[in-house]
Amino acid sequence: MYEILRDCPAPAKLNLFLHIVGRRPNGYHELQTVFQLIDWADTLHFERRDDGQIVHTNPLPGVPPETDLTVRAARLLQERCGVRFGVDIGIEKRLPAGGGIGGGSSDAATTLLALNRMWQLDLPRETLQALALKLGADVPFFVFGRNAFAEGLGEELHAVDLPQRHFLVVNPRVHVATNKIFTDPLLTRDTKIVTMAFFLEHANKNVFETDEIFRNDMQAVVTREYAEVAAVIDWFRTFTTARMTGSGASVFGVFDTKADAEAACKRLPERWMGQVTTSLAEHPMFAFA
């Protein structure tokens, strides 16, 4: 019986591209994207409780524990499986909130994976992914645990093998209001659908220089509304092509070597946050489901 699980990573993701290809009658947007796992991560710690309580031991400022995605994930799993145990959850938070890199979603997925083992539930990955979708569109990807070509709301996942790459991820310390971007009348919502095979033809090339095919459809709206995001993209032009990930505000550039990314990071303006990262082939906790 696992009573304590410490140092459980919750890695970030990048969207190598993000296309909005349609809109459903309920207002939700149909997407195509490729999710790339990277080695920048929060770290979570879990200790089993015998009283059934779900306790966040170090809640984030301004985030009530009951609304935290890790607490919601634990409660969802507890209720779904009729678990009598509870858990203390602690988080070493490194990933910026609202940065488009999936920090909260990844924390939730790591919680599902860790508790699946701690509570000895042995739920298959597909069941955990279905539960994860109740928590947010990006959470199933982190449970899926492989780099993926994604469609639908982002939950239709197909594993893809991607070359190892080194990135510099820059966050300009602004929070992008996702709902505002999705409801903007100028947001592109009719990008031509691409096939996974077409993406894979370009996957070993520099897809970051083919914005006429692969781009982030939200970037034009975000950069118009948030000058600091636009400034980051302009700053990157000295070194490499850059693209916004997710709904922003983080921007990433790809580099030939980690040393090149580190050299660029040293020239980053102090008002921004920068992190040199390397791609991952799979989630560090892939074996937990």
Please identify every residue annotated as catalytic: 13, 138
Q: Is 149 exposed, middle or buried (0-12, 13-18, 19+ CB in 10 A)?
A: buried
CA distances from 241 to 162, 183, 207, 208 (A): 18, 28, 10, 6
Q: Residues forming the annotated binding site? A: 96-106
Token pair listed for 29: 């947007």
Give the phi and the psi of residue 152 in degrees, each rounded to 5. 70, -130
DSSP strands (E only) in 50-189: 54-56, 86-92, 148-152, 156-159, 166-171
Token pair listed for 195: 């096939």
Q: Residues forming the annotated binding site for ATP? A: 96-106
3-state secondary structure of 199: helix
3-state secondary structure of 167: strand
